[in-house]
Structure 1
Amino acid sequence: MEIICIDKKTFDEFRTRFCELEGRMARLCHSQEDTDLKNWMDNQDVCDVLHISKKTLQVYRDKGLLPFTRIKHKMFYKPEDVQNLLESSYHPIKRKP
């Protein structure tokens, strides 16, 4: 084993910078975890965004048009999947020349 000696001032500065880096990493990881869970949408959120009824949303699920996750009796949807449904159903207006 090799032992390296450094002066106290250098060690304290290194320790301070390391603690700051550790704090930043913890905040980044924590905010990413929170963001992922907050983004999930429930039935009401999706109905509000798409301006559809709960029955229509059920039809979308039954036909496989909108992926979902079920936990007990509650459905959850990823915002990206709702956006993909909107984009796949987009029909631009074609104007005659």
Structure 2
Amino acid sequence: MEVINIEVQTFEAMISRFEAFTQKVENLCGDHQDKSLHRWLDNQDVCRILNISKRTLQTYRDNGTLSFTQINHKIFYKPEDVESVINKLKSK
């Protein structure tokens, strides 16, 4: 193991820069976060909410009943879209 000594001023400057970097990242994340969308739902969440099977959920995606977004191999749903499906199912 190698030990490196640094001056207190250098260490404090590094800490200050890390804190500034952290603040910038938090600001960027806050700026690009959709305030009306608290979180995306995954397949398991939607199946539980709608009380349906994974296959039924697949059918809803295939026939356009439920909008979705796919990132790599993971599928996500907006809570608003799930609510609209709930309202459609209630009206039937």
- The TM-score with structure 2 as length reference comes to 0.59
Greater mean deviation of Cα atoms: 40-49 or 82-91: 82-91
Q: 1:77: which partner in 2?
A: 77
1:32 is displaced (CA, Å) by 7.4
User: Identity of paired residues, percent?
Assistant: 52
1:72 is displaced (CA, Å) by 1.0
Matches for 1:59-78 after TM superposition, within 5 Å: 59-78=59-78
Which aligned segments of 4 or more residues in structure 1 are displaced greater than 4 angstroms?
A: 34-38
The answer for unaligned runs of 5 or more in structure 1 is 1-25, 93-97
- The TM-score with structure 1 as length reference comes to 0.57
1:51 is displaced (CA, Å) by 0.7
The answer for unaligned runs of 5 or more in structure 2 is 1-25
Aligned residues: 66
RMSD in angstroms over aligned alpha carbons?
2.9
1:91 is displaced (CA, Å) by 3.1
